[in-house]
Amino acid sequence: MNSIIKLSDNAAIRIKEIMSSAEKNSLGVRVSVKSGGCAGMSYVMEYSKELNPNDEVIEDKGVKVFIDSAAVMYLLGTEMDYKKEELSSSFVFNNPNETERCGCGESFKID
């Protein structure tokens, strides 16, 4: 079965770094999607302290990523990357399902 999300090496390394300084009861990171932003939807990343029964769990490159069940259909086939640039660094979602992305890159749309 194909993973919902694939992690780039950079994303996995960064998640490991984040988790090493996270509170002890954090299990991994959770990715979800919420309404908002200029294009309609945005990605949300947060620590996951518990496993929700409907979560999809991706274990890849030594890290756990929990996918909110409501976000699965929006994220299928997405690669999660981590980019460091001179003035900023952030997780980047390369999502083949996006039909539109706002200019600032903070939100997206899927038809």
pLDDT digits over 7-35, tens only? Answer: 999 999 999 998 988 888 888 899 999 98
Q: What is the largest CA-CA distance in the chain?
A: 40
The model's confidence at residue 2, banded by pLDDT at 50, 70 and 90, is low
- Residue 106: is its pLDDT beyond 80? no
Residue spans per domain, the chain: 5-109
Strands 41-48 and 28-35: antiparallel
For the domain made up of 5-109, give the CATH fold.
Hypothetical Protein Aq_1857; Chain: A; (2.60.300)
Question: Distance (Å, rounded) from C-alpha 31 to C-alpha 67?
Answer: 5
So what's the pLDDT on residue 40?
80
Tell me the per-residue pLDDT of 38-62, one tens digit each, with 9 for 90 and over: 778 888 999 988 888 899 999 989 9
Tell me the per-residue pLDDT of 54-102, one tens digit each, with 9 for 90 and over: 999 999 899 999 999 999 988 999 999 999 888 888 898 998 888 888 7
